[in-house]
């Protein structure tokens, strides 16, 4: 998975593990490097050996570019050795059923092209901002814990367009702080009103902007847009996808438009689409 910070990539991975009912193991590349005196490549090998003892497992690696970064030709570095080790560890991990490896990055362009080739991952999924329905569901979760009057949810959802889940969480906390200050210092109303939530939203800086996130096809509505993208030839014809799952590659500069409804990564070689695992 790839997309901006705060869009819920880790939460998504945890949700998959919860739905499957499998243990969730998160590996932190930065911690592995500090915990092993023999180096990051060796620490990775040891970690995957320990994970292999579990019958079922979802392994999640965030900021995977730290261990699968783009290798430079005709150079030998420690980082390239780490990438080589990671590339060798994935195929054996896939050999047994009831194992799932999920990796996430904020910048797919920093990943080595071999890391994304078919045979290592079945899906390359962009993760972007939630749509209206998803934003309201997130707000409902936070507002349920706060005493509030009747709220204009349409106004609240409309005011926080392009908010990531992390942005909404911050806005909810800021709303609670504003009301707390009103009650303590002004002896004011305890119930949260729509205006309070809108103030909390106004005090929150958006992670994303309209220059970064734009619909590829205008007039299709926010939910169920056809984005029509391809990542190194790995993702083809995905058709109707909810907007919260889509991060437009064109706007991010990761891809360029080609004739038709597809995009292609800049300067990436084409490769055939993978055959999905049964």
Q: Give the CATH number of the domain where residue 149 resides.
A: 1.10.8.60
> How far apart (Å, rounded) are the C-alpha atoms in residues 136 and 155?
10
Confidence class for position 6, pLDDT limits 50, 70, 90: confident
Tens-digit pLDDT profile for residues 124-170: 888 888 889 999 999 999 999 999 999 999 999 999 988 999 999 99
Q: Are residues 28 and 68 in the same domain?
A: yes
Q: What is the pLDDT of residue 23?
A: 96
Tens-digit pLDDT profile for residues 20-73: 999 999 999 888 877 655 688 999 999 999 999 999 999 999 999 999 998 887
Please indicate, yes or no, if residue 176 is contained in any of the structural domains: yes
When divided into structural domains, the chain yields a total of 2
- Reply yes or no on whether the pLDDT at 261 is more than 70: no
Please indicate, yes or no, if residue 60 is contained in any of the structural domains: yes
Q: What is the pLDDT of residue 269?
A: 34
The percent of residues above 90 in pLDDT, for the chain, comes to 49
- Reply yes or no on whether the pLDDT at 74 is more than 90: no
- Reply yes or no on whether the pLDDT at 252 is more than 50: no
Tens-digit pLDDT profile for residues 91-122: 999 998 999 999 999 888 889 989 988 778 88
**Domain finish residue from 51, 83, 116:** 116
| 16-42 per-residue burial string, b: 16 or more CB within 10 A, e: under 16 | ebeeeebebeebebeebbeebeeebbe
- Reply yes or no on whether the pLDDT at 250 is more than 60: no
Phi, psi of 165 (to 5 degrees): -55, -35
Q: Are residues 108 and 136 in the same domain?
A: no
Q: Strand, coil or helix: what is 201?
A: helix
Please indicate, yes or no, if residue 262 is contained in any of the structural domains: no
Please indicate, yes or no, if residue 68 is contained in any of the structural domains: yes
Q: What is the pLDDT of residue 19?
A: 94
Please indicate, yes or no, if residue 209 is contained in any of the structural domains: no
Q: What is the pLDDT of residue 212?
A: 66
Q: Are residues 16 and 111 in the same domain?
A: yes
**Domain finish residue from 54, 84, 116:** 116
The chain-wide mean pLDDT, for the chain, equals: 77
Q: Are residues 109 and 160 in the same domain?
A: no
Any idea which residue has 């972007």 for tokens?
128
The domain in which residue 184 lies consists of 132-202
- Reply yes or no on whether the pLDDT at 209 is more than 50: yes
Q: What is the CATH number of the domain that holds 67?
A: 3.40.50.300
Please indicate, yes or no, if residue 197 is contained in any of the structural domains: yes
Q: What is the pLDDT of residue 158?
A: 95
Please indicate, yes or no, if residue 126 is contained in any of the structural domains: no
Q: Are residues 104 and 160 in the same domain?
A: no
**Domain finish residue from 65, 91, 116:** 116
> How far apart (Å, rounded) are the C-alpha atoms in residues 103 and 127?
12
> How far apart (Å, rounded) are the C-alpha atoms in residues 187 and 228?
54
Q: What is the pLDDT of residue 171?
A: 97
Q: Are residues 87 and 13 in the same domain?
A: yes
Report the chain's terminal Cα–Cα distance, integer Å.
20
Q: What is the pLDDT of residue 140?
A: 95
> How far apart (Å, rounded) are the C-alpha atoms in residues 95 and 17?
19
């Amino acid at each position: 998975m790839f997309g901006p910070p705060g869009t819920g990539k880790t939460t998504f991975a945890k949700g998959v593990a919860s739905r499957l009912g499998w243990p969730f193991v998160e590996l932190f590349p930065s911690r592995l490097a500090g915990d092993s005196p023999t180096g990051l490549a060796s620490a990775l090998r040891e970690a995957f050996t320990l994970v292999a003892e579990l019958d079922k497992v979802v392994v999640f690696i965030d900021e995977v570019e730290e261990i699968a970064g783009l290798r430079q030709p005709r150079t030998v570095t420690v980082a390239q050795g780490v990438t080589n080790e990671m590339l060798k560890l994935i195929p054996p991990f896939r050999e047994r059923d009831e194992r799932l490896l999920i990796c996430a990055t904020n910048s797919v362009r920093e990943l080595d092209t071999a890391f994304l080739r078919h045979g290592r991952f079945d899906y390359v999924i962009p993760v972007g901002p939630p749509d209206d329905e998803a934003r309201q569901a997130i707000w409902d979760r936070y507002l349920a814990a706060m005493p509030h009057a009747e709220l204009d949810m349409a106004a609240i959802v409309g005011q926080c367009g392009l908010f990531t889940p992390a942005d909404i969480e911050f806005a909810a906390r800021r709303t609670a702080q504003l009301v707390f200050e009103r009650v303590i210092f002004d002896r004011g109303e305890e119930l949260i009103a729509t205006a309070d939530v809108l103030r909390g939203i106004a005090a929150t800086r958006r992670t994303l902007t309209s220059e970064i996130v734009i619909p590829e096809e205008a007039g299709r509505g926010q939910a169920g847009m056809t984005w029509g993208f391809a990542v190194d030839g790995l993702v083809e014809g995905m058709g109707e996808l909810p907007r919260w799952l889509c991060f437009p590659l064109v706007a991010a500069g990761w891809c360029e438009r080609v004739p038709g409804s597809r995009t292609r990564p800049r300067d990436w070689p084409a490769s055939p689409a993978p055959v999905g695992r049964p």
